[in-house]
Every structure is written in C-alpha cells, then in structure tokens.
C-alpha cells in the first residue's frame, strides 16, 4: 500500500459487525485510522464539528442502512446537505444484511454511493474498496 492509506469510518449499530470489519482492515493494513460510530447521528455531528479539518474527515465510509433513530438512508440525505461544507468528500459504501432488491435499487440511485455489499464483508471486499480509492489518489 501507498503511504496515504485512507481513514475509514464504519457506521453500524451492530458492535460485532463493526469489530469484525475493523479487525479485517487492521489485519490487512488497509486504513490509517479506523473510526466506528454506532449511530449515524454521531457521525453527522462529528462531520459538522470537524468539517474544516481534512485529517479528521473520512476517506471511506462503510454505512449500515438499518439502524435505530437515524438510519443509513437518512444519514445519506444529511450528508448530501452538508457535503459542500466539508473539506474532503468521502466515498460511501453501503453494508447491510439485507439482500432485498428494493434496497439494492435504492442504493444504486443515491448519488455518492459507490457500491452495496451484503454482510459479512470480506477482506477481499475491503481490499477492493481501498484499491479503488488509492487508484484515484
């Protein structure tokens, strides 16, 4: 990997899933900083508070869509509203246990969503995400 490996955010209310993805990323040395948010609102609040600090912003966001309170779809709407204020734009990947065609279709219609992956996420999927990110840098 290049020296500019990405900052990775995992936004998921399932602690086991978040831990698993974080561990895979660590083992694969795929991220510089790995941050876990168990609520989408916590991630939005952080973005708003650190919008002008590039090193605090994520490069890649792995987003669960089914969470209590603010779900992944609402997070994407809020992100779209504040994106122009952020010093860095993140690539968003949806991760979900759902394989419902409605969710897949909705994900492909949301601007800024790079891909939709069904859980459990594999090391190969993570490597592909990071590789795609690195090729653009």
C-alpha dist (Å) from residue 27 to 21, 59, 89, 123, 127: 10, 19, 26, 9, 11
Domain residues of the chain, as ranges? 7-119
**Tokens 């660590």 correspond to what residue?**
26
Residue 78 contacts residue 112 (beta carbons within 8 Å): no
CATH of domain 7-119: 3.40.50.2300
From first to last of its 137 residues, the chain has per-residue pLDDT tens of: 344 689 999 999 999 999 999 999 999 999 989 999 999 999 999 999 999 888 889 999 999 999 999 999 999 999 999 999 999 999 999 999 999 999 999 998 998 899 999 999 999 999 999 999 999 87
pTM for this predicted structure = 0.93
């Amino acid at each position: 990997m290049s020296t500019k490996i990405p900052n990775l955010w995992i936004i998921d209310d399932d602690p086991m899933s978040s831990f698993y993805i974080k561990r895979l990323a660590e083992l694969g040395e795929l991220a510089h900083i790995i941050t876990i948010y168990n609520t989408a609102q916590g991630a939005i609040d952080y973005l708003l508070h650190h919008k002008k600090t590039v090193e605090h912003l994520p490069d890649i966001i792995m987003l669960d869509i089914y969470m209590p309170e603010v779900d992944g779809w609402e997070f994407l709407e809020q992100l779209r509203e504040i994106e122009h204020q952020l010093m860095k734009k993140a690539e968003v990947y949806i991760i979900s246990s759902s394989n419902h065609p409605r969710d897949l279709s909705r994900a492909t219609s949301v601007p800024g969503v790079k891909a939709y992956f069904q859980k459990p996420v594999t090391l190969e999927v993570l490597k592909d995400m990071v590789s795609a990110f690195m090729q653009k840098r």
